Chain A
Amino acid sequence: MQKIFLFIFFFIFIFSGASWAQELDEDSVGTSSLKTKQVEHWAVGLGMTQWNEEMRIAQGGVTVGSTANFSGMLVSIQKEFTRYRWGWNFGGLVGSGYANGGSDSGSANSYLKTKVSYSLLGASTRIFYRFSGRINFGTSFMIFNRIIEWPSEGSIQASSGKNPNILPVIDLNVRVFNTWELYQGIGPVANGATFWKIGMNYRF
Chain B
Amino acid sequence: MILVRVTETILNVKHSISISILIVVSSALISFPAGAYPDFIGYGYSSCVTCHYNSLGGGALNDYGRALFATEITARDIFPKDMDEEAIAAQSGFLGTKQLPWWVRPGIKYRGLKYMRGLGSEEKIERFINMQADVNLNFFVDKKQDIALINTASYVDKETYYGKTYEWYMREYYIRWKYNRNLFVYIGQMDKAFGIRQIDHTNYGRGPLKLGMNDQSQGVIAHFVYPDWDIATNIFLGNGLQEEEDKQRGLSVTGEYQIYEKFKVGASALNSESDKEKYNLLAVSTRMGTSKGSAVMAEAGLKEITDKISGAEAKLGTYAYIQTLVNIRRGYNFLSTLEHTRSDISRPSRESMKWAFGALMFPLPRSEFRLMFDNGKAYDDTVGVPDSWAFQGQFHLSY
Q: Which residues of A contact B (CB under 8 A)?
A: 1-2, 6, 9, 13-14, 17, 20-23, 25, 47-48, 50, 52, 55, 66-69, 71-73, 97-98, 100-104, 112, 114-115, 131-135, 137, 172, 174-180, 182, 184, 186, 192-194, 196, 198-200
Contact = CB atoms under 8 A, between A and B. Distances in A.
Interface in B325-361: 326-329, 332, 334, 336, 338, 351, 353, 355, 357-359
Interface of B: 14-15, 17-19, 22, 26, 29-30, 32-35, 119-120, 288, 290-294, 296, 322, 324, 326-329, 332, 334, 336, 338, 351, 353, 355, 357-359, 371, 373, 375, 377-387, 389
Given A47-B22, A71-B351, 5 more contacts: A69-B384, A132-B294, A135-B294, A174-B294, A182-B26
A199 B381 contact: no
A194 B30 CA distance: 28
A112 B383 contact: yes
B17 A67 contact: no
Given A101-B384, A115-B15, A176-B288, A135 B29 contact: no
Contacts of A101: 384
Contacts of B327: 22
Contact of A182 (B19, B292, B324): B324
Given A48-B22, A177-B30, A186-B357, A135 B326 contact: yes
Contact of A22 (B15, B19, B329): B329
A100 B381 CA distance: 7
B384 A17 contact: no
B40 to A, nearest CB: 15
A96 to B, nearest CB: 9
A186 B328 contact: no
B291 A184 contact: no
A141 B320 CA distance: 28
A199 B387 contact: no
5 contacts: A69-B380, A100-B383, A132-B294, A135-B326, A174-B324
B291 A132 contact: yes
Contact of A196 (B290, B377, B389): B377
Contact of A17 (B18, B33, B322, B332): B332
A137 B336 CA distance: 12
Question: Which of B326, B329, B355, B378 lies at the interface centre, i.e. has the most chain A CB atoms within 10 A of its CB?
Answer: B326
Contacts of A178: 34-35
B321 to A, nearest CB: 11
Contacts of B387: 52, 192-194
B288 A67 contact: no
Contacts of A55: 384
Nearest to A53: B384
Contacts of A71: 15, 17-18, 351, 379
A104 B382 contact: yes
B358 A9 contact: yes
Nearest to B290: A134
A192 B389 CA distance: 8
A174 B296 contact: yes
Contacts of B334: 13-14, 137, 172
